[in-house]
Amino acid sequence: MFKPTSPLLSGLLWKIPWRLSAPQKARQRKRLRSVDKVIDTVTAALYKKGFTAKAVEQWNHEMPREEEMLPKDKYTIFDRKEKKYRKGIHKLPKWTRVSQRVNPPGF
Amino acid sequence: MSYFRITLVRSAIGLPRRTTDVLKALGLKKRMATVFHAVSPSVAGQIMKVKELVEVREVERRLTKQEVHLERKPDPGYYVEKVGRSEFDESRRV
């Protein structure tokens, strides 16, 4: 049976929902925590040996942990072209495998 | 001596070339591959480049490939009985 939906009527049309679903958000939190865990392990191991690494120091200095982040920053990202300057983080290319934690202050 | 036990859990397909190169430098060629590297700032920097793709643990000892494999091997659910004679000889020897 033919359903006159937009993807069928006009060929290639991807429908990306404007917000994340609850399980997507849960998985996003899980990924954030897994990155935190890696950082913690590396920091602890280096500390025990008395080493320091610039990349690790900088991350620990600048980046919030999962539990310190606002929901706004966990699930959305700044975009200057968007109304209210925010769009879902799932619009970011490769969003499940890149770190995007901080946004411009005030937005 | 402590080591980083690094396992690649997410593939770098479609990510920038540099990411793949870092994984190659660490010796991670496919998903679920595990490598051991001594704790050092340079390895820490490499891990930081691919932190979203790997799982890291600090361990005391470098495991061999065989040992890593055996960790993942499920219990076969059976064991092979020894021949009566060899069992008898073994008990005699003790």
- What ipTM describes this predicted complex? 0.84
Domain count, chain B: 1
Q: Tokens for B92, please give them.
A: 């005699």
- Report how far residue B59's alpha carbon sits from residue A82's, in angstroms, rounded to the nearest whole number: 47
Question: Residue B12's pLDDT is what?
Answer: 95
What pLDDT band is residue B85 in, cutting at 50, 70 and 90? confident
**Residue of A46, A94, A99 with shortest CB distance to B39:** A46
- State which residues form the domain around A28: 22-91
Assigned domain for A13 exists: no
Of all residues in chain B, the percent with pLDDT exceeding 90 is 78
Judge: B52–A31 Cβ closer than 8 Å, yes or no: yes
Structure tokens at B35: 């490598």
B71 assigned to some structural domain: yes
Task: Indicate whether A1 belongs to any domain.
Answer: no
Domain-located, residue A4: no
pLDDT in tens, B27-56: 999 999 999 999 999 999 999 999 999 999
- 8 Å CB contact of A46 and B57: no
**Within-domain flag for A28:** yes
The secondary structure of B5-28, three-state, reads EEEECCCCCCCCHHHHHHHHHHCC
Domain that holds residue B47: 3-87
Residue B10 has a pLDDT of 97
Q: Please, are residues B54 and B7 in contact by the beta-carbon 8 Å criterion? A: yes
Instruction: From first to last of the 107 residues of chain A, give the pLDDT tens digit.
Output: 677 777 777 777 777 899 999 999 999 999 999 999 999 999 999 999 999 999 999 999 999 999 999 999 999 999 999 999 999 999 999 999 999 999 999 98
In a domain, B92, yes or no: no
A9 is a domain residue: no
For residue B94, tell me if it sits in a domain.
no
Q: Cβ contact (<8 Å) for B57 and A48?
A: no
Count of structural domains within chain A: 1
Is B93 inside a domain boundary? no
Contact B52 A35 (CB under 8 A): yes
Chain B residues with CB under 8 Å of a chain A CB are 2, 4, 10, 12, 14-15, 39-42, 44-45, 47-49, 51-58
Check if the beta carbon of residue A50 is closer than 8 Å to that of residue B55.
Answer: no
Q: What is the DSSP string of A28-53?
A: HHHHHHHHHHHHHHHHHHHHHHT---
State the pTM of this model. Answer: 0.83
Residue B81 lies in a domain: yes
Look up the CATH number of the domain holding residue B76: 3.30.1390.20
pLDDT > 70 fraction of chain B, expressed in percent and rounded: 99
Instruction: Specify if B56 maps to a domain.
Output: yes
